[in-house]
Each structure stands twice: as C-alpha cells, then as structure tokens.
A = this chain, B = another copy of it.
Amino acid sequence: MCEANVYIDEHDGKGEVLYLENVDVIRPEDGKLFIKNLFGEQKFFDGQIKEISLIKHKIVLTRK
C-alpha cells in the first residue's frame, strides 16, 4: 500500500514524533491540516507540512 506515516517535528530535542500511521489524505481545512488514515481515523493538526518523502512513506509536519 502507498500510505505514509505522519510525524511532528517538535523542535524541542525530541525530534520527529509519530502522529498518525497509514495516512491516506491530507488537506488544508479551516486553517488547519485535516489528516485521515486508511482506517478512517481523522485528526486536525494546527501546523503545516515540512516535508513529504513518498518513497520513505514519511510526511513531516511542524507546529504553527
């Protein structure tokens, strides 16, 4: 499958922290990022995309 895992770059020495696995959809919505995974789990994240690396199945976000 071609989903990705979403991480938050916390900028506090913790590095990249796993936020949601098996993500299918991300889109800006109402000033936040709407994120949905293969299992229908949905989250809104108050931040932005830092980097997408599809071959690594990895998307990194940063907080606003």
Using a CB–CB distance below 8 Å, which chain A residues touch chain B?
1-4, 23-28, 38, 48-55, 57, 59
Contacts and interface: CB of A to CB of B under 8 A. Distances in A.
Contact of A54 (B2, B28, B55): B2
User: Looking at chain A's contact residues, is the secondary structure mostly helix, strand, loop, or mixed?
Assistant: strand
A55 B38 CA distance: 9
28 contacts: A1-B55, A2-B2, A2-B4, A2-B54, A2-B55, A3-B54, A3-B55, A4-B54, A24-B53, A24-B54, A24-B55, A25-B51, A25-B52, A25-B53, A25-B54, A26-B49, A27-B49, A27-B50, A27-B51, A27-B52, A28-B48, A28-B49, A28-B50, A38-B55, A49-B49, A52-B52, A52-B59, A54-B54
